[in-house]
Chains A and B, each alone.
Chain A
Amino acid sequence: MLIEILQQTINGLAIGGVYVLIALGLTTVFGILGIAHFAHGSISMFGGYLTYFLVTAQGLPVLAAIPVALAAGILLGLLVEILAYRPVRNANHINAFIVALGLTMMVEGINLQLFGHEQVVIPTGLSRVFRLGGITVPELRLYVIVAAIVLVVAMMIFVERTKTGQAIRAVAENRDAAILMGVNVRTIPLIVFGMSTALGVAAGIMVGALFAIAPGIGEGLVVKGFAVLILGGLGSFPGAILGGTVLGITESIAAGFISSAYKDVIAFVVMILVLLIRPQGLLGRAP
């Protein structure tokens, strides 16, 4: 029993790590620009497909393909910000959401034209499995969890320790005050989108290596990402990290011990129950 609980927790960690990365990207965009960036998931998917294409069709090694895909993803993120979100910045928030919805369809459609309708798995050649007592961990899962932790730490350092990071936080806290302090509020959104998209593409690559990417997978990712955001508290980085981990493990435990058919229902009910007790989420600031 204990071994099974431990195994299920480890099972949930990998997908939890993916949720954390997706949620961090969403939460930075939300915290600083107030946009529900629904297209985030499909851009992650695009990044994953692109990596697959670079590896299989262009023959790049995986480690070389990843930076290229990240760069392409960042570029796409910047385009999305400049062409689509900036024009609706001053309109109602729901308008940005509709734009995001339209963008999702476009990215999905273009992806289908470029890469076809089959699911793909990014080949890594990493197929060893570590065994410890009764617990098994495929090496790839371990690397994904480690990579997620590294990315999260890198982002925290960037936001906490660098000047740009401080400017980003200043805008998040109070836009008007930030302008008075001389922060360039026009470049901040671009940096934020670049960073957020990079995290999203990284998550897409992880999903693509560990599991698979397929058309329509982005919507599932972004919905889970938003659930994490709500669970952890909108705009809160630690909240996204805690929320993603909790959601991943909850799903795994729910599937293993209660019902695999209703695992998502259980995860969502946990989210709703948390909100009943703490309407601002686990680590969100009280309004």
Chain B
Amino acid sequence: MNRILPLLPWLLALALLAVLPQVLTVKYYLHLSILALIWVIVAQGQNLIQGFTGYVSIVQAGFMGIGAYGSTLMGLNFQWPLWATMIMAPLITALFALATGYPSLRVKGHYFAIVTLAFNLIIVIVLVNYSELTKGEAGISNIPKPWGGNREAFYYLALVLAASLTLLAALIARSRVGEILLAIRQNEDLVAALGIAAWKYKLFAFVISAMYAGLGGALYAHFQGFINPEIFGVAQSLDAILAVILGGSGTIAGPAIGAFLVVFLPEFLRFADSFRLILYGLILVLATIFMPIGIVGIIKAAFARIARREVRHGG
């Protein structure tokens, strides 16, 4: 019983998400939910490098772009089936991540953040200007969608993938690798002093996080049916960071909750019309000041307080 109890909220959330398409009558919310599930995958990837390893990467959307364009262009130019290109997308992204991760991970902290940001800008500039291949800023439309564009079916595909990849992230976090990543976050020099090649683990986290993004990007492309470079700019990489921080950095539930927030909150704020940007910014500032450890952190703290009180009462 004690082992199942922590899983209970997860099963509940999963069950809720599973029946969601049946109760949502307005398809707009289904559309947003699919985007949010894609962002769960992207944010779980971001959390591996940012939350667990402590390296704030600003290239997650760029890697989404690599996955999206990779899958789309392979389908377009080699006539590969959709499923094959979607499986290839994270692998291609991994290659790019290896090539960019090696120089980036030689530096730390803010240096790392800015170098990754530069890579994101480079990816976008190349996507825009290498138009013989990418069709530039005009973008690629009519990207094939699975099941003839059936949104409900796509929702379940995204849900299954988001749930499995969340589980995978949890497994990585609890493995020996995950422990070493956490140790790197807390004190990298100490890890090195223990004779562990920290760079291997950092590169592993960086590449896996990029693969998450690559898959998320491919899903995005085959869900929307249209991509252009604008979608994979720095602003969206910042969204990935936001999702992790708002939800709860270094937790498993945090990025999932955060992903739904970064998709739904700006949409909800449409009522504010031209004040939307101001309001969104204000919410970010207030949320960060008053919930520095994210939503999951707040909930955990609240539960801990209740538990303590109960113990006190009981004793």
Contacts and interface: CB of A to CB of B under 8 A. Distances in A.
Interface of A: 30, 36, 84, 87-88, 91-95, 97-99, 101-110, 112-113, 219, 223, 226-227, 229-230, 234, 261-262, 264-265, 268-269, 271-272, 275-276, 279, 281
Closest 4 CB pairs of A and B: A105-B281, A102-B284, A109-B278, A109-B277
Contacts of B109: 93
B111 A109 contact: no
B149 interface: no
A269 to B, nearest CB: 8
Interface residues of B, number: 40
A283 B271 CA distance: 49
26 contacts: A36-B110, A88-B288, A95-B245, A95-B292, A97-B56, A101-B238, A102-B280, A102-B284, A103-B285, A104-B281, A105-B277, A105-B280, A106-B282, A109-B277, A109-B279, A113-B278, A226-B110, A226-B114, A226-B117, A227-B114, A229-B110, A230-B110, A272-B103, A275-B107, A279-B106, A279-B111
Given A97-B56, A223-B117, 15 more contacts: A88-B292, A98-B241, A98-B284, A106-B277, A107-B281, A109-B279, A112-B277, A223-B121, A229-B114, A230-B114, A230-B115, A262-B125, A265-B122, A268-B119, A281-B111
Contact of A84 (B103, B118, B119, B289): B289
A95 B293 CA distance: 9
Interface of A is mostly: helix
A18 to B, nearest CB: 18
Contact of A265 (B111, B126, B282, B292): B126
B249 interface: yes
A90 B285 CA distance: 15
A272 to B, nearest CB: 6
A262 B129 contact: yes
Interface of B: 50, 56, 103, 106-107, 109-111, 113-115, 117-119, 121-122, 125-126, 129, 234, 238, 241-242, 245, 249, 274-285, 288-289, 292
A101 B107 contact: no
A21 B285 CA distance: 26
Contacts of A223: 117, 121, 234
B115 A272 contact: yes
A99 to B, nearest CB: 5
Contact of B242 (A88, A101, A230): A101
A84 B285 contact: yes
A105 to B, nearest CB: 3
A85 to B, nearest CB: 10
Contact of A87 (B111, B280, B289): B289
Contacts of A264: 121-122, 125
A286 to B, nearest CB: 12
Contacts of A104: 281
A84 B286 CA distance: 9
Contacts of A88: 288-289, 292
A39 B233 CA distance: 18
Given A99-B289, A102-B284, A268 B122 contact: yes
Nearest to A100: B285
A59 B244 CA distance: 48
Given A95-B288, A112-B274, A276 B125 contact: no
A275 B280 contact: no
Contacts of A110: 278
Contacts of B50: 94
A105 B283 CA distance: 10
A102 B50 CA distance: 19
B224 to A, nearest CB: 24
Contacts of B275: 109, 113
Contact of A230 (B111, B119, B234, B278): B111
A87 B291 CA distance: 11
A94 B277 CA distance: 21
B292 A91 contact: yes
A11 B105 CA distance: 34
A113 B121 CA distance: 29
A106 B276 CA distance: 9
Nearest to B106: A279
Contact of B118 (A91, A113, A268, A279): A268
Contacts of B283: 102
